[in-house]
């Protein structure tokens, strides 16, 4: 939903009611994860998607109904049957969609939510899906502030505690409580949507391959920084897609801007005087992914240098080098896709094998936090 907020903010500011359709639960091979959203304006304009096409038509009709009645509702869609006109998911999954009208009366916290997200401040919104509370009630959560109530102090307190925990982890999902906030109960279902700042990708080395990696990083939703110690190469003109271009020694930049457990680091400098001190910083930090470009011979020389700097076997095992998956690519764009594929696989704990050679669910829950 993050990318929909500018359009939704314009609709909200215009004073007309619109409808928001959100995936709040998924089972089996559902096409979109919890948090995926579609919105419909009063004039019928549509933005976003909840299923990649399977139930979009039905979701649109439900959104129009919510706009007309002002009433929220929870709907479940499963496998479509043999009736060609039945609505369902051809992939075999199940999704729960929450359809709600949005205007100043039904969602008074929306403007504050959109403004915080636009400033890339961590913010979450908890929505009552079912239970004795008010269906569609919202509670806005930031690390130091709350707004909105579910009508019970105990429930509000439990939602705040759980919601802030999910916000810290960058997770979006449905949680359950008792009527007064009891944890070992499922009387009340609450959907917590986290708007954590986008994860960081730092690309080191102002080379042609880096420009392609920057582009694919932006496409994947990362806040991308290009860093190189050479000002003649590290320019915004050469890397227009980067969120920021930094001229600094790579290891010094990383030391001053330490990665968190959602950060990915792509080391493309291909020069030992840059690579080795940078990788010492990277592999002893918290980054979710560290990859370094180079031949197999370069990789072995690099490992030797890192061992001499005191890095341990578990730290060295975190290094993905030569960087990327074996796709046979040669161009900068093909190399960038190879790197992106490896980052996605590492983030999701995936095998990288062809789906035709694997069993079980195609879509899986990420093992590390991703973009909100």
> pLDDT value at position 33?
84
> pLDDT value at position 364?
55
State the residue for tokens 């690390």.
Answer: 143
Cα distance between residue 333 and residue 103, in whole Å: 44
DSSP 356: G
| Chain centre distance of CA 90 | 25
Q: What percent of the chain has pLDDT over 70?
A: 91
Q: Please name the residues in contact with 148: beta carbons below 8 A apart, sequence gap of 6 or more.
A: 108, 109, 137, 138, 139, 140
The three-point CA angle 347-349-353 to 5° equals: 115
| Chain centre distance of CA 153 | 31
More confident residue, 195 or 363: 195
> pLDDT value at position 28?
67
pLDDT tens-digit map of 280-311: 999 999 999 999 999 999 999 999 999 999 99
Length of the chain: 372
> pLDDT value at position 2?
80
Work out the average pLDDT over 222-227: 96
Please, where are the H alpha helices in 49-126? 56-69, 110-118
> pLDDT value at position 354?
87
> pLDDT value at position 348?
83
Work out the average pLDDT over 24-31: 76
pTM greater than the 0.95 cutoff? no
């Amino acid at each position: 939903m993050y990318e929909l907020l500018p359009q939704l903010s314009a609709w909200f500011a215009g004073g007309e009611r619109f409808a928001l359709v959100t995936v709040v639960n998924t089972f089996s091979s559902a096409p979109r994860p919890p948090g995926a959203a579609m919105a419909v304006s009063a004039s019928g304009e549509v933005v976003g998607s909840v299923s990649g096409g399977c139930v979009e038509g039905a979701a649109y009709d439900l959104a129009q109904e919510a706009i007309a009645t002002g009433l929220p509702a929870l709907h479940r869609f499963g496998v479509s049957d043999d009736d060609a006109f039945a609505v369902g998911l051809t992939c075999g999954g199940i999704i729960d969609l929450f359809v709600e009208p949005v205007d100043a009366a039904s969602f008074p916290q929306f403007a504050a939510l959109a403004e915080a997200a636009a400033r890339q401040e961590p913010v979450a919104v908890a929505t009552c899906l079912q239970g004795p509370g008010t269906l569609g009630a919202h509670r806005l959560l930031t690390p130091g502030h709350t707004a909105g109530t579910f009508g019970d102090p105990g429930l509000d307190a439990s939602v705040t505690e759980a919601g802030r925990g999910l916000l810290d982890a960058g997770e979006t999902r449905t949680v359950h409580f008792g009527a007064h906030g009891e944890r070992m109960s499922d009387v009340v279902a609450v959907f917590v949507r986290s708007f954590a700042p986008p994860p960081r990708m730092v690309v080191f080395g102002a080379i042609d391959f880096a420009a392609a990696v920057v582009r694919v990083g932006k496409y994947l939703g990362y806040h991308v920084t290009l860093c190189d110690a050479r000002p003649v190469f590290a320019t915004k003109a050469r890397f227009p897609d980067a969120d920021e271009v930094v001229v600094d020694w790579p290891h010094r930049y990383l030391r001053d801007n330490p990665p968190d457990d959602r950060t990915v680091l792509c080391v493309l400098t291909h020069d030992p005087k840059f690579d080795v001190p940078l990788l010492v910083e990277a592999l002893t930090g918290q980054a979710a992914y560290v990859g370094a470009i180079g031949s197999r011979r370069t990789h072995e020389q690099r490992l030797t240098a890192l061992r001499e700097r005191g890095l341990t076997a578990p730290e060295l095992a975190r290094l993905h080098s030569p960087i990327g998956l074996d796709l046979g690519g040669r161009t900068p764009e093909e190399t960038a896709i190879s790197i992106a594929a490896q980052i996605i696989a590492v983030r999701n704990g995936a095998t990288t094998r062809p789906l035709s050679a694997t069993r079980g669910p195609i879509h899986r829950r990420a093992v590390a936090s991703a973009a909100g």
